[in-house]
Structure 1
Amino acid sequence: MPAAAAAPLKYVVGIDIAKDTFVACFGRIEASQQLRFGKQATFANTPAGFAALLAWAAKQQGAAAPVWFVVEATGVYYEALAYYLADQQQALSVLLPNKVKHFAQSTEQKSKTDQLDARLLCRLGLERALPAWQPPTPALRRLRALARERQSLKRQGARLKSQRHAFAHCYQPDARTLERLAAHQDLIEAQLRAVDQDLAALLDAEPELARRLAHLASVPGIGPATAIVVVAETNGFALIENERQLASYAGLDVVQRQSGLAARAARISRRGNVHLRQA
């Protein structure tokens, strides 16, 4: 008579996500620490695809055991799925890209495909005890949207200022063009003032958030604008466990490449959150 299958300690669904679709890999870990990987499937990155993912994952389960979903925080494409799973009361871990990269380096995996990345995330979730993702509060989501809009307007304003200065000092500049550039610059400045007013109103309505920002801004070298970006992009530091992880998430960690006698100068990785790095 065949032996009964060992009861799993937990199930994990590793998810490699892109703009339009995502690949899911289902796996389990048994009491013997044996890892077993099951089927993989591709779903649309839409609400219908999210519902299909849950139905598919439920069919893969045998004995009762906790189910965890593991996804990498790449861009914004993971957000809709993460919020959906949180709303459905599913256990979810959202991992920073550098954490996944370091785990991948510890394995023998050399190739990189969507299917292999989903399996890697599944394996990471099976082997490690990962923190549960805490969705940002509506106030933090609003803060992040306003902070990103402000950064974008500041970049546009700086480029337009340089463009206007250069055009004004060229030979016989066209007066109508100068007027349009000036009007465009006035519009950006008006939008910046509107964003700052919305930020002030948000902080008036959220005194605890305002207190945390003021506390961070009290650190020498950190102004109010920088504090807003740091808190917004780290989900109130929920994604960050220590200062090294913060530097890595911002892409400010130092990397060095050396092979034999050839050595390159150390530089920052620039692989993290661009909004945080530009704060």
Structure 2
Amino acid sequence: MNKFKHFLGIDVSKEYFDAVVILNGNNKKTFHNQFTNDFKGIRSLCKWLKDQDATFDNTLVCLEHTGMYSKLIIKYLTGYNFSLWVEMSLKIIRSIGVQRGKNDKVDAERIAYYAMKNADEATIYKAPSMSVEKIRKLLSLRDKLTTTKACLIRNVKELKTFDLELSKLLDKFQKNTIKGIEEDLKKIEKQLDELIIEDENINKIFNQATSVPGIGKITALFLICFTNEFTLYSNPRQLACYAGVVPFEYTSGKSVRAKPKVHYMANKKLKKQLHLCALCAATYDSEIKEYYQRKVAEGKNKMLVLNNVRNKLIHRVCACIREDKMYEKRQIA
């Protein structure tokens, strides 16, 4: 039996958010209101909830993950000690069944109903530390700058084949831009190093993760950010599923017999980083290299084996964090 009497669903947009509260677990007894998406609006929400006798200790608040638009609500409601459940929109949509039509009020009501129906499975939001927030933003900016730099260089290289004079002209104009991006990337790398050193827990986790052969600096930081310092997933398989490296069976009756395959719903950034790590480990780590070559020699598909390596890396990192020690290679007698 869960401790919550009331269930609040919030549908967030840029300027406003709609709130629907279900009182005493009775979905026939709902109240709706709309507030501005700012501190004044959040204070009005708290006052409105108090009038409904819905307080921080008896109310479960549920909202969809909408990026920056929900940051203010999450920040202040956690500050007011509300139990907050930040859920994937797709999970909410698919759990409700066939629905026709939508508006902000209806969406907020559906979120509230989802929270009430699945309260026993609620994952209470734990705010990341300031260091993790900074690392996440710096990694995002680093990714954008790296992509921009690669795009500029690629365009000039491709143009050389067709128009050498024009490619030289473009190269001349974008040279300072690329130089500026490279300088900014160096500053970001330096700032990331400082943040790792300053936070004792992040520094410990980072060193443990990077002790696994193949896991580099950026991948370790991605893992720290996406797992909130390895607190969001209770076992390695859950994290591997989130990263999209676990194959699932796909059969039905006698007619459908497809090969096991990974699911398309995954954290693509993390999956990409793990793929690069797997390639590195299969090239330079003797144990993984021997495993990779043996499986390929047995006739296994190379991408299948690489996916197994990605899975192995996640399990090794999680084992290091769980056991609170650096990775050690097995000694073969």
Q: Tell me if TM exceeds 0.5.
A: yes
* Correspondence 1:179 to 2:179: no
* Correspondence 1:57 to 2:52: no
* Correspondence 1:152 to 2:144: yes
TM-score of the aligned structures, taking structure 1 as reference length: 0.79
Counterpart position of 2:14 = 19
Q: CA offsets per residue over residues 55-79 of structure 1, 9 Å max, x none?
A: 2222222799701211111222211
Task: Give 1:137's match in structure 2, choosing from 105, 129, 141.
Answer: 129
What pairs up with 1:212-231 in 2 under 5 angstroms? 212-231=205-224
Cα separation, 2, equivalents of 1:60 and 1:82: 21
Counterpart position of 1:126 = 116
Q: 1:9 to 1:133 in 2, by over 3 A?
A: closer
* Correspondence 1:38 to 2:33: no
Q: CA offsets per residue over residues 160-209 of structure 1, 9 Å max, x none?
A: 22012123443242444221222222221111111000001111111320
Q: 1:265 to 1:161 in 2, by over 3 A?
A: farther
Give 2:178's aligned amino acid.
Answer: Q
TM-score of the aligned structures, taking structure 2 as reference length: 0.67
Give 1:236's aligned amino acid.
Answer: E
Does the 8 Å CA contact 1:233/1:275 hold for their aligned counterparts?
no
Does the 8 Å CA contact 1:250/1:270 hold for their aligned counterparts?
no
Does the 8 Å CA contact 1:147/1:232 hold for their aligned counterparts?
no
- Range with bigger deviation, 152-161 or 53-62: 53-62
Cα separation, 2, equivalents of 1:253 and 1:116: 36
Give 1:101 deviation, angstroms: 4.0
Does the 8 Å CA contact 2:60/2:115 hold for their aligned counterparts?
yes
Counterpart position of 1:234 = 227
Does the 8 Å CA contact 2:4/2:59 hold for their aligned counterparts?
no
Structure 1 unaligned blocks of 5 or more: 1-7
Aligned partner of residue 78 in structure 1, secondary structure: helix
Structure 2 unaligned blocks of 5 or more: 274-333
Give 1:19 deviation, angstroms: 2.0
Q: 1:202 to 1:194 in 2, by over 3 A?
A: same
Q: CA offsets per residue over residues 5-24 of structure 1, 9 Å max, x none?
A: xxx95111111112222211
Does the 8 Å CA contact 2:242/2:267 hold for their aligned counterparts?
yes
Does the 8 Å CA contact 1:168/1:178 hold for their aligned counterparts?
no
- Range with bigger deviation, 231-240 or 68-77: 231-240
Does the 8 Å CA contact 1:13/1:57 hold for their aligned counterparts?
no
Task: Give 1:117's match in structure 2, choosing from 107, 132, 139.
Answer: 107
Cα separation, 1, equivalents of 2:72 and 2:127: 11
* Correspondence 1:200 to 2:193: yes
Aligned partner of residue 206 in structure 2, secondary structure: helix
Q: 1:19 to 1:241 in 2, by over 3 A?
A: farther
Does the 8 Å CA contact 1:68/1:125 hold for their aligned counterparts?
yes
Does the 8 Å CA contact 1:14/1:119 hold for their aligned counterparts?
yes
Q: 1:274 to 1:72 in 2, by over 3 A?
A: farther
Query: Could you say which structure has the higher strand fraction?
Result: 1
Aligned partner of residue 76 in structure 1, secondary structure: helix
Counterpart position of 1:72 = 64
- Range with bigger deviation, 81-90 or 222-231: 222-231
- Range with bigger deviation, 85-94 or 174-183: 174-183
Aligned partner of residue 215 in structure 2, secondary structure: coil
Cα separation, 2, equivalents of 1:246 and 1:199: 24
Give 2:58's aligned amino acid.
Answer: P
Q: CA offsets per residue over residues 211-234 of structure 1, 9 Å max, x none?
A: 212323344543221121222133
